[in-house]
């Protein structure tokens, strides 16, 4: 049981998932067939025993509200716990003012009202497994001001672009926070997940607002680096940062492999999501499927290779779908030939001779589009 208020923060403009991001906020994007991106951070919190959780929503709240509901399906007690969906209710003058500090200030009452002495803040677009019980225990024992989760990576030249990276001394004290501009291979990438006392959190939010009207929470952290005792806490196992369409594509593809997925999907650490009550998937006599993750409710009659297939997808006989991510409810018609394509929800792909992208630049088919 973790004595902390959970705050699921929204991502800044460095996270831009072309196409998919136009219809819903990043946390609500469908992931690996049956999940949505927010399921991972939220399951981490509830599996750690956190019962008071806030989800701050930047824009387009509908899909998140529907998906999260009251949080019962994430194991949040309906009386003792609370899943609160929060968004800035006053109109923002311009997109640049729509930042996390603004949302925290407008909803400060709900942060102050919490009886939890600590806050744990994390965005949803970083996908990994962590037990916050351990993190908080260490945070309290070490008497540091702020604990920051990070992951040591050796592909920072191509991945995690735009993410914060931590510069630490040998005791993991953070001396500075720098943006990853892809110059170096090995970096300690910040998960932008922070553990600190509620009192300090409120103080920093106010200080950020007083410093600049455009500051995000991570901006003020960068500034107080030398002043406060901040330490890094390493995340082990698989980490994906879903901040672009190619990184979304890559993470889905990687997690098809059971050996990689086993880092994230552990029996005693379930990833909760909203059930859709779909029937099992039916494979016809002509189906040819390999190396794919398939959600329930599908009817597969064609050829599917190296794909992630969402719920209630139909792949008709004669269709050939390779290296694709098909989102829930899409229909792939008889003659369609797709390679490295992301098909958004409920799109209908008919009469297409060929649609070919690459893993670095997958083709995106719009939601409910008819081709």
Partner 1 sequence: MRQNNNMVAMILAGGRGSRLFELTKKVAKPAVYFGGKYRIIDFPLSNCANSSVEVVGVLTQYESVLLNSYVARDHHWGLDAKDSGVFVLPPREKDETGFGEYRGTADAITQNIDFLDQMKAEYVLVLSGDHIYKMDYADMLEHHKKTGADATIAVLEVPLKEANRFGIMNTDKNDIIVEFEEKPAKPKSNLASMGIYIFEYKQLRKYLLQDEKNPDSSHDFGKDIIPNYLADGKRLTAYRFKGYWKDVGTIDSLWEANMDLINPNNELDIFDLDWKIYTEDVNAVPQFIGENADVNNALITQGCQVYGSVKNSVLFTNTVISQDAKIIDSVIMPNATVGRGAKVTRCIVADNVEIAPGAVVGNKDSENILLVAKNVSK
Q: Which residues lie near partner 1 (CB under 8 A)?
A: 32-34, 72-73, 256, 258, 261, 265, 270-272, 275, 277-287, 289-297, 299, 312
Cα separation, 100 vs 205, in Å, equals 9
Which residue, 199 or 282, has its beta carbon nearer to partner 1?
A: 282
Residue reference for tokens 């410093």: 211
Q: How far apart are the first and last CA of the chain?
A: 50
Q: How far is CA 125 from CA 174, 244, 261, 295, 312, in A?
A: 23, 10, 17, 21, 25
Report the residue number, 101 or 313, with the smaller CB distance to partner 1: 313
| Rounded-to-integer distance, Cα 119 and Cα 2, Å | 10
In terms of CB distance, is 219 or 263 closer to partner 1? 263
Give least dist CB 33 to partner 1, A.
Answer: 4
Q: Token pair for residue 29?
A: 């994007």
Place of tokens 């607002």: 209
List the structure tokens of 323: 């290296």
Q: Minimum CB separation from partner 1 for residue 340, in Å?
A: 18
- Smallest gap, in angstroms, from Cβ of residue 60 to partner 1? 25
Q: 181 exposed, middle or buried (CB, 10 Å; 0-12, 13-18, 19+)? A: exposed
Helix (H, G, I), strand (E, B) or coil at 136: helix
Q: Which of 371, 317, 319 is nearest to 348 (CA)?
A: 371
Closest distance to partner 1 from the beta carbon of 212 (Å)? 43
* Residue whose CB is less far from partner 1, 109 or 275: 275
Residue number, 72 or 371, with CB nearest to partner 1: 72
d(CA 8, CA 85): 10
- Reduce the DSSP state of residue 252 to 3 states and report it: helix
Strand 30-31 with 35-36, pairing: antiparallel
Closest listed residue to residue 196, CA positions, set 221, 173, 172, 213 = 221
| Nearest distance from C-beta of residue 235 to partner 1, angstroms | 21
State how far Cα 224 lies from the chain centre. Answer: 26
Report the residue number, 226 or 258, with the smaller CB distance to partner 1. Answer: 258
Q: Which is nearer to partner 1, 255 or 336 (CB)?
A: 255
Min dist CB 205 to partner 1, Å, is 35
Q: Closest Cα partner for 50 from 122, 127, 141?
A: 122
Min dist. Cβ of residue 50 to partner 1 (A): 18
C-beta of 14 vs 296, nearer to partner 1: 296
CB of 279 to partner 1, least distance (A): 4
């Amino acid at each position: 049981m973790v004595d902390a208020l959970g705050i699921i923060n929204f991502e800044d403009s460095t996270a831009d998932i072309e196409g998919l991001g136009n219809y819903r906020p990043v946390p609500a994007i469908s992931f690996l067939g049956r999940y949505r991106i927010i399921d991972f951070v939220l399951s981490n919190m509830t599996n750690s025993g956190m019962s008071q959780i806030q989800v701050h929503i930047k824009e387009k709240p509908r899909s998140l509200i529907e998906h999260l509901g009251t949080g019962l399906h994430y194991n949040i007690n309906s009386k003792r716990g609370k899943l609160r969906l929060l968004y800035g209710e006053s109109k923002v003058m311009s997109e640049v003012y729509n930042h996390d500090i603004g949302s925290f200030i407008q909803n400060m009452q709900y942060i102050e009202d919490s009886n939890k002495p600590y806050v744990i803040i994390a965005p949803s677009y970083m996908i990994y497994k962590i037990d916050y019980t351990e993190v908080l225990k260490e945070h309290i024992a070490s008497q540091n001001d702020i604990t920051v989760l990070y992951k040591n990576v050796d592909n920072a030249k191509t991945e995690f672009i735009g993410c914060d990276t931590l510069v630490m001394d040998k005791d993991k004290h953070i001396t500075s926070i720098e943006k990853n501009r892809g110059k170096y291979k090995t970096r300690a990438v910040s998960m932008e997940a922070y553990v600190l006392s509620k009192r300090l959190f409120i103080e920093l939010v106010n200080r950020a607002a007083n410093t600049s009207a455009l500051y995000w929470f991570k901006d003020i952290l960068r500034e107080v680096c030398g002043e406060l005792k901040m330490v890094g806490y390493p995340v082990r196992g698989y980490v994906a940062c879903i901040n672009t369409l190619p990184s979304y594509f890559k993470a889905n593809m990687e997690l098809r492999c059971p050996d990689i997925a086993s880092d994230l999907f552990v029996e005693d650490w379930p990833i909760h999501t909203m059930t859709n009550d779909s029937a099992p998937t039916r494979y016809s006599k002509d189906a040819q499927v390999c190396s794919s993750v398939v959600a329930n409710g599908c009817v597969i009659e064609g050829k599917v290779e190296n794909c992630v297939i969402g719920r209630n997808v139909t792949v008709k006989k004669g269709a050939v779908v390779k290296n694709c991510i098909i989102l829930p409810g899409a229909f792939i018609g008889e003659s369609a030939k797709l390679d490295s394509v992301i098909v958004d929800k409920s799109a209908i792909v008919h009469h297409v001779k060929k649609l070919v992208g690459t893993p670095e630049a997958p083709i995106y088919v719009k939601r409910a589009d008819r081709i």
